[in-house]
Chains A and B, each alone.
Chain A
Amino acid sequence: MNGNPFLDALVWLGDPSRWSGPAGVPVRTLEHLGYTALGVLIAALIAVPVGLYVGHTGRFKGLTVAVAGAARALPTLGLVTLFALLVGIGLTAPMLSFVILAIPSLLAGAYSAVESVDPATVDAARAQGMTERQILARVEIPLGLPLLIGGVRGATMQVVATAMLAAYVGSGGLGRFIFQGLGSQNYPQMIAGSLLVIVLALVLDLSLLLLQRLTAPRGTAA
């Protein structure tokens, strides 16, 4: 150990024994990815329909913005502890907290996606006889897709950074390395765990950025 914890963290990562077994880096990374995906998916099932409705009809806009804003202020560790006191250890308490964490960004992404479409275009579609649902599905969503994916990207970043809290109540993920490193004053391990989260976050972010670019409709500024 050469005394610099950051360098020692790289040594920790370079140790091949860390990369195998049920407590190894690959398993923990997949768990972490899984928690993120599940959290964002469940939040999307709730937030995206609501956001699309609010964006399309313009109703309850103020309420939605207020609720989303308030939800952002909730401290996730506090939520995890609170839910765990109710439902016990395991994945349920963290998952509930991750969903609450992801909703604001997805909600904002959804309603801003629909609102960003030029009203003239929507009018034209309506004039052509499209139903409201058809307008939403064939005009507003395709044109607003980059913003919607932007919301997904924001939510994913928040959840992947916070998913380490699953380890606080006995679940897996990269948080296992971080908490154990912190508790046993093994700072190279703690830093290594954090580095892995950062790399995972960057990979996800760049992938979603690419998706955003790819889905930008031709002829619009994405």
Chain B
Amino acid sequence: MTLHSTRRHLLGALGLGGVALGAAACGSSDPFAEGDGSGGEGGASDGGSDGGGAASLAVGSQAYYSNEILAELFAQVLEAEGHTVDRQFQIGQREVYMPELEAGKLDVMPEYLGNLLQHYDSEAESASPEEIHSALGEALPDGLRVLSFAEATDQDSYTTTADFASTHSLKTIGDLAGVDEKLKVAANSEFEVRPYGPEGVKSVYGVDLSVVPVEDSGGPLTVKALTDGDVQLADIYTADPAIVENDLVVLEDPESLILPQNVVPVVSEKVDEAAATAIDGVLAQLSADDLVELNRQSVVDQTSSAEIAKGWLTEKGLV
């Protein structure tokens, strides 16, 4: 009996030791640790060119699959230019990665016009993409700059079905004013109080509508409400593959009621003119339909971001 309990205690201690070892091994490696290579993506090597002459650059992404695809696009054109690229994907929120950019541990980050501006100027109101872009030039801290912005966006929208759009000849949000029915838009409940919600469309476009709250942030329930005909409009993000999968139409917003979220990279000083030109090449070609299609390949076909990026860049002749 005594031996039995001693063995049990021994096994228990071994088990605890095993768990402790496992926990230590899985322990978070700081992806920004200076060159100590402890697990994960290792550290961003800063300064210094390698033998090839082109600087080594760190390209990051948000914890968002679509953002990672954009980061891959930038990473691959930079590699085609001869740079060594250190990929640091799935970082997280702006509060986490912006300080790293400012500190020079990241060099390229795919961002979105409106959200980036509001990070530095929370009072910023909606304006045209060009205006937001200039405002960013002033709002960003020294050492950081934005390159050109793409046509592709990832923002809230007023989206409808192809049938409804053709029946009522809808192209812009303002065209809704001519529709006879009582208009309902499926969106998160906070849409009700957003500046681009019912109050905004009323004052800017003269359109009356009411919100039917569906709390999945433009997800499958919202899309289904639209395709079922329970609502005529839905707030679906403009880069969502559901738009092409369900033949939906995003209504244009010529008055920029909705804060524009065009894709725009924010870069550090280490990104020189040649690198910037390479990245700008991607943005010049990235249309709204392109981004939806890239996202579709990830969500529906489950292709990896590296493959998706390679395919698109090859097709556009950028690599």
A interface residues (Cβ-Cβ under 8 A, vs B): 81, 84-85, 88-90, 167-170, 176, 179-180, 183-184, 186
Contacts and interface: CB of A to CB of B under 8 A. Distances in A.
B25 interface: no
14 contacts: A84-B221, A84-B224, A89-B212, A89-B214, A167-B215, A168-B213, A169-B214, A170-B186, A170-B213, A170-B230, A176-B213, A179-B189, A180-B193, A183-B189
B220 interface: yes
Contact of A89 (B189, B193, B225): B225
Interface string B138-181: 00000000000000000000000000000000000000000000
Closest 6 CB pairs of A and B: A183-B190, A184-B190, A180-B189, A170-B212, A179-B189, A88-B228
B188 interface: yes
Q: Give the secondary structure class of A's interface.
A: helix
A176 B225 contact: no
B199 interface: no
Interface of B: 186, 188-190, 192-194, 212-216, 220-221, 224-225, 228, 230
Q: Which of A81, A90, A176, A180 lies at the interface centre, i.e. has the most chain B CB atoms within 10 A of its CB?
A: A180
Contact of A179 (B193, B212, B213): B213
Contacts of B192: 180, 184
A168 B217 CA distance: 11
B215 A168 contact: yes
A170 B210 CA distance: 12
A81 B189 contact: no
A89 B230 CA distance: 8
A89 B188 CA distance: 13
Contacts of B190: 180, 183-184
A167 B192 CA distance: 14
